[in-house]
């Protein structure tokens, strides 16, 4: 079977790490793994390049890991830290033909159309605009090139969001509740990414202990925690985790046998 490769473009929470103006041990750490851009991943399979979310750091993230082209964008939800880099797909449009498909729920795409009104406007523009084609998804698995993508319904506070499963890889971010029906979609995973913002409870994000409980139930071969704030220093936080649970960091690349 062919492989799926995932590279973490950003492992940080909505404001990134360091936090602007903060002088805590993590924000001033010299460990590069404590430098976390906003949350996103680049997934490669069958010669295709797909990103999950386009963060405000998207331009720098794409430069940093040399994303060569962009075949599709999957959006988890419409919060600023997950969509605001969408305009920065233009350099890909300049070099490749056609519109880039953007997959998201009806709610997510309605936010995208509002925030990026000029992109979808019929009016003639003198400036370059991203060439995008929105594709509305629900919880039904859908084909992406020659793969099947399984949307995983999650709750982010009261907001429904999607995680995505591709083969034995699942990427779930911005959740604090996973419905039982979604847990059933997450069986038999090799690699599972989960939101784990911090140790203290949060109304819309999973904590380290809550995500450990999810790992305990789902038993993937390995789990990575992401969407991390400055409460977690990489080395110390990871040393307290079981061997099959790691903290994601920017630039981390994992390969999963499809």
Beta bridge partners of 151: 164
Residues 6+ apart with CB under 8 A from 213: none
Size of site (CB under 5 A) for Zn ion: 9
Q: Which is nearer to Zn ion, 84 or 137 (CB)?
A: 84
Interacting residue with Zn ion among 33, 79, 198, 234 (CB under 5 A)? 79
* Closest listed residue to residue 101, CA positions, set 69, 70, 148, 134: 134
Q: Which is nearer to Zn ion, 198 or 230 (CB)?
A: 230
Interacting residue with Zn ion among 53, 71, 88, 174 (CB under 5 A)? 174
Residue 230 binding Zn ion, by CB under 5 A: yes
Using CB atoms within 10 Å of the CB of residue 167, give its burial: 0 to 12 exposed, 13 to 18 middle, 19+ buried: buried
Helices (H), the chain: 58-65, 80-83, 90-95, 106-115, 117-120, 180-183, 208-218, 234-239
Q: Which is nearer to Zn ion, 24 or 106 (CB)?
A: 24
Residues 6+ apart with CB under 8 A from 155: 161, 175, 176, 177, 178, 179
Residue 195 binding Zn ion, by CB under 5 A: no
User: Which residue stretch of 4-12, 49-57, 146-154, 225-233 sits at the interface with Zn ion (rule: CB under 5 A)?
Assistant: 225-233
* Closest listed residue to residue 39, CA positions, set 26, 51, 23, 22: 51
- Least Å distance between CB 116 and Zn ion? 17
Residues 7 to 26: which contact Zn ion by CB under 5 A? 14, 19, 22, 24
Residue 81 binding Zn ion, by CB under 5 A: yes
Residue 71 binding Zn ion, by CB under 5 A: no
**Which positions touch Zn ion (CB under 5 A)?**
14, 19, 22, 24, 27, 79, 81, 174, 230
């Amino acid at each position: 079977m062919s492989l799926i490769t995932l590279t973490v473009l950003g492992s940080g929470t909505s404001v990134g790490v360091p936090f602007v103006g903060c002088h805590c041990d993590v924000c001033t750490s010299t460990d590069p793994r404590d430098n976390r851009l906003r949350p996103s991943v680049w997934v490669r399979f069958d010669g295709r390049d797909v990103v999950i979310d386009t963060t405000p750091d998207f331009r720098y993230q794409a430069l940093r890991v040399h994303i060569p082209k962009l075949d599709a964008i999957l959006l988890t939800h419409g919060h600023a830290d997950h969509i605001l880099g969408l305009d920065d797909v233009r350099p890909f449009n300049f070099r490749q033909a056609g519109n880039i498909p953007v997959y998201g729920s009806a709610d997510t795409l309605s936010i995208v159309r509002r925030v990026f009104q000029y992109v979808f406007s019929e009016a003639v523009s003198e400036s370059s605009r991203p060439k995008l084609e929105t594709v509305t998804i629900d919880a039904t698995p859908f084909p992406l090139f020659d793969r099947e993508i399984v949307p995983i319904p999650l709750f982010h506070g009261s907001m429904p969001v999607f995680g995505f499963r591709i083969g034995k890889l699942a990427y779930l971010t911005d959740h604090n509740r996973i419905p039982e029906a979604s847990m059933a979609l997450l069986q038999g995973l090799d690699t599972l990414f989960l939101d784990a913002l911090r140790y203290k409870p949060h109304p819309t994000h999973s904590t380290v202990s809550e995500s450990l409980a999810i790992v305990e139930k789902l038993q993937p071969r390995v789990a990575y925690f992401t969407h991390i704030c400055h409460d977690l220093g990489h080395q110390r936080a990871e040393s307290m985790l079981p061997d099959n649970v790691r903290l994601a960091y920017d630039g981390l690349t994992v390969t999963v046998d499809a």
